[in-house]
Amino acid sequence: MHVLVTGGAGYIGSHAVLLLLEAGHQVSVYDNLSNSSPESLRRVCAMAGASPELFIGDLLDSDRLKEVMLNVKPDAVIHFGGLKAVGESVEKPLAYYRNNVVGTVNLIEAMECADVRRLVFSSSATVYAESKKLPLMEDAPRDASNPYGRTKLHIEQMLEDLAVSSGEWSIGILRYFNPVGAHPSGNIGEDPQGIPNNLMPFISQVAVGRRNEVKIFGKDYPTYDGTGVRDYIHVVDLAQGHLDAIDFLTHHKGQFVWNLGTGSGTSVLDVIGAFSRACGRQLPYKIVERRAGDIAEYYGDPTAARLELGWKAERGIEEMACDMWKWQSQNPAGYGEFEIGDYTNEDLNAYIKGIKDTLSSTNVVS
């Protein structure tokens, strides 16, 4: 099968591209590299012994998107491309609505233009309304509490409307819980710019000495140890869910929603404990005030994904911490700085495929 992956150079996308190539699929990536580096795809190519074709392009450039879609004519699209920082979305809501919502409208129009009607979309557990009823099921009430979450909610609703409007579509909405970890090789992983928003990348930067201590926001929550509880999911398990969703959509028309999580929650203190064991030293932490907007606990019910996709999270918190530590300790500065500058699509493809060893100028620092 030929799969076009938007945002395929990013954290989750690069893991999915690797699994797709390993499973023998042909892969094209559409990414503007605004939050990623070609280095991730270069490493994916080296590991898979096969290459995706990289198309540099923006989801907001509808002409480029149509041109690529008509050229590639994929059997399916996996749509990771988008902005994802909750805090930034509060400061720049329009940038988030434009990039995520308008970008998805453009993508769907380009797909229609090329008669491609199989789509897997990266949604998030952030679309669920706060609830005391756990685990969260797919039909739980939705109500996002920030602009980022609302972009996901709007896109979900748009995809529902699309599936109602035409019986031709096969759409899978995947609601991720908290993706963490890295490929067990330590070659690819999450490379956040600036101060990480999420707990696990923050902890791993403390472990590698880039930050002093982990801040725990509140120890008086009604949870098993007083700290916040979340459903962490290993990025390789998560990536596998996309391959299983594509298989399912090959045989089913309509619109489907699946939670991708482990089905149980882990506290902040337990995550710090697992990471301390992984890196071999007790990581320093400090309890500080609760953070506005944080909720005590949530985790999802992944039964639908198990029954319908045959998917199940295989890796636990110790493995997530070990693999994350391997990635972080082997790559303390992530993939290094990258700016797209004047690089051509050809340059970048030659680089990721190993035909060129460097990207000539100072744009890539490894």
User: What are the catalytic residues?
Assistant: 148
Options 82-90, 111-119, 131-139, 320-328: segment touching ligand NAD (CB under 6 A): 82-90
Give the shortest CB-119-to-ligand NAD separation in angstroms: 13
Among 7, 196, 228, 261, indicate the residue that binds ligand NAD (CB under 6 A). Answer: 7
Options 18-26, 57-65, 133-141, 213-221: segment touching ligand NAD (CB under 6 A): 57-65
| Residue nearest ligand NAD, Cβ-based | 10
- Cα distance between residue 78 and residue 31, in whole Å: 12
Q: Interface with ligand NAD includes 82 (CB under 6 A)? A: yes
By beta-carbon proximity to ligand NAD, the closer residue of 52 and 81 is 81
Q: Vertex 315, ends 233 and 283: CA angle to 5°?
A: 75
Residue among 19, 73, 58 at smallest CA distance from 246: 19
Looking at 101-169, which runs of residues are DSSP E strands? 118-124
- Cα distance between residue 218 and residue 53, in whole Å: 46
Among 84, 117, 118, 315, indicate the residue that binds ligand NAD (CB under 6 A). Answer: 84
Q: What is the DSSP string of 233-294?
A: EEHHHHHHHHHHHHHHHHH--EEEEEEES-SS-EEHHHHHHHHHHHHTSPPPEEEEPPPTT-
Q: Interface with ligand NAD includes 263 (CB under 6 A)? A: no
Q: Interface with ligand NAD includes 43 (CB under 6 A)? A: no
**Whole-Å CA distances, 272 to 179, 191, 314, 326, 331:** 16, 19, 21, 16, 20
Phi, psi torsion values for 2, nearest 5 degrees = -100, 120
Element (H, E) at 232: strand 232-234
Among 9, 110, 233, 364, indicate the residue that binds ligand NAD (CB under 6 A). Answer: 9
Beta-strand relationship, 266-267 and 229-230: antiparallel
Q: Interface with ligand NAD includes 170 (CB under 6 A)? A: no
Among 38, 74, 103, 149, indicate the residue that binds ligand NAD (CB under 6 A). Answer: 103
- Could you tell me how far CA 181 lies from the centroid of its own chain? 11
Total of chain residues touching ligand NAD, rule CB under 6 A: 26
Q: Interface with ligand NAD includes 13 (CB under 6 A)? A: yes
Q: Interface with ligand NAD includes 59 (CB under 6 A)? A: yes
Phi, psi torsion values for 123, nearest 5 degrees = -100, -165
Tokens of 185: 């090789």
Among 99, 259, 266, 363, indicate the residue that binds ligand NAD (CB under 6 A). Answer: 99
Give the shortest CB-32-to-ligand NAD separation in angstroms: 4
Q: Interface with ligand NAD includes 32 (CB under 6 A)? A: yes
Residues interacting with ligand NAD, by CB under 6 A? 7, 9-13, 31-36, 58-60, 80-84, 99, 103, 122, 124, 176, 179
